[in-house]
Amino acid sequence: METINVAEAKSRFSELISRASAGERFQIRRRARTVAVLVSSGEYERLERAAQAAFQLALALGQDEALLGRVQCGEAHPAMAAFGLWHAEDDLEKLAERIEAERKTTLTRPSISL
């Protein structure tokens, strides 16, 4: 993904639209902060379908529709869509407790080589 500043995006807008429609993606930044992303309409539609599928899955798993609505309109973080879904699952509750206990006792994390 190519990163460009707002001024450059303004001056090259037609070119960027053509390139985005061909599949390229652009991250547009102002003062070192991303303010927009330019993607093709196909990529945008794919992202929307994935978000809708995640919403439907969370509903099917019993998540509160009001909370999901807050996630959709940006009032709550997307990770909240999974919050509380395992409240009735003893195995998962115990797993979360074990992870928390392990994190409290582990001073350093092992390094990961990629």
Residue found by looking up tokens 């909370």 in the block: 67
Phi, psi dihedral angles at 35 (to 5 degrees): -115, -20
The better pLDDT of the pair 71, 108 is held by 71
Kindly list the structural domains of the chain, giving each domain's residue range(s) and its CATH number in brackets, ordered by start.
2-39 (3.40.1620), 43-105 (no CATH)
Q: Please, what is the angle between helix 41-60 and helix 65-72, to 10°?
A: 160
pTM above 0.95, yes or no: no
Which of these, 35, 40, 36, lies nearest to 20 by C-alpha position? Answer: 40
How would residue 73 be classed by pLDDT, with cut points 50, 70 and 90? confident
In this prediction, what percent of the chain has a pLDDT beyond 90?
40
